[in-house]
Amino acid sequence: MSEQAKPVKKTTATKYTQAPRIARRLSKDEYAKAHQAKAEGRPVAYVMVGVNGVILKALDITPVYTENFSGVCSAMKAEGPFIDKAESDGFSNLVCSYARIGLGICGCRNEGMPVETLPAGGIPDPDLLLGTGYCCDTRFKWYDSVSYYLPDVPAFNYEIPLIQSPYIDTDNLRLKQAYIDYEVEQQHRFVEFLENATHQKMDWDYYRQCQKYQYEAQCYWYEANRLRAQGKCVMPASDNFSCINPYMFNQGDVTTRDFYRDMCEEIKTKIANKEYVLEDEKYRICWGMGIPPWHQMNLFDYIVSKGGVVVGETTYNPSEPYDLIKVDTDDPIREEVTRRWEKDWEKFRKAREKNMNLTMMSIADLLKENRSDGIMCHATKSCRAVTVGQIHQMNVINEQFNLPTLFMESDMADSREFSEAQIFSQIDAFIETIEARKRNGK
């Protein structure tokens, strides 16, 4: 008699709202659209987060966000063979695990792996590679390395200025204008490349409409997170992490705008009906820094079992929408970029006054808004962009707040780096520290 299969241990997180379920369906639809576009001969692009997806939408280029698909593979516990393939091809285990999974997929496809055997139905081969070095050093070479497997696919890499220093001279308006001009130039170079590669011209009226949908989506999502901070928690961080896909990976689409509008309404309804994650909510925790471990999201359920909820998070949250100020230009790209930089310049000025960078200021604002009892940070082994400086930044934050802080170490997509026993033991000690401080009235 054959041995009975062991039950698979649940490592996903409990969903407390409908929004994550809808977001998952929309994400699957995007992969289906990519396969359909490929079958119909329309351009499909591998894309990195940070690339202007509204431009792609307006040019009818179907994006496949490779970082997102790597996260999907990890959540399905299916990343192992692709990481092994990338590492056997010479990529270090210190390289971003998203990139290793993506490169491994390309390597496996080159060796004849059928696309339909990939997780979640797979992703089609690309007609374009569209990258950016925004916020991450790995990105400079990721798609260059993909070109080793796909040498005939046209590639483009454009840059977006990213300022983290708290010491930027916000009185220097020429500097601000230089940043605006540089980004506008980069985005127009991007449009020119895409027009030449696809043999079609940008419909700028359609671009404006797509940009409007994306802005409205940002407004709804931002409002939803302000509502989540009120009273007892109705939508925890784990739910919100599951709702990032439409805004990040289906930019400029009316369905994205509608998703966050409906999410906002669902939160309002739950608040009105007092449908809380925990009726007896003992501890409110802020997710301070780091990408969550997509392969082990049940750690959030473990915190709930201890009477705690993770309410606020900086990672992936939308920034405050820019003001619709009048910009003297007929260029819709310059109009949008200028409005965003004007808003960012205000934030740089505030951060400079507080001797903080934008990440620190965002965390400080979340701690106040969510009335947090403690802070969680995830030091991800293969992501320097969100890990380097965590301890220093938390030390600066706690000069003001003096809260218990938990530093977990694993990886966002490589499940081999996660030790459940160690992490859950750290959570136990973290919760005990919060409880002791509460007992002592601190």
pLDDT band for position 106 (cuts 50, 70, 90): very high
Q: Give the integer Cα–Cα distance in Å for 83 and 87.
A: 6
Residue 121 in this model has a pLDDT that exceeds 70: yes
Q: How far is CA 290 from the centre of its chain?
A: 10
Q: What percent of the chain shows pLDDT beyond 90? A: 81
Q: Give the integer Cα–Cα distance in Å for 233 and 327.
A: 40
**Lookup: tokens for 425:** 């033991």
Residue 442 in this model has a pLDDT that exceeds 90: no
Residue 285 in this model has a pLDDT that exceeds 90: yes
The Cα diameter of the chain in Å comes to: 78
Q: Average pLDDT of 74-102? A: 95
Per-residue confidence (pLDDT) for residue 9, from 0 to 100: 67
Model confidence pTM above 0.85: yes
Query: Across the beta sheet with 62-65, what order do the strands follow?
Result: 62-65, 44-47, 128-131, 155-157
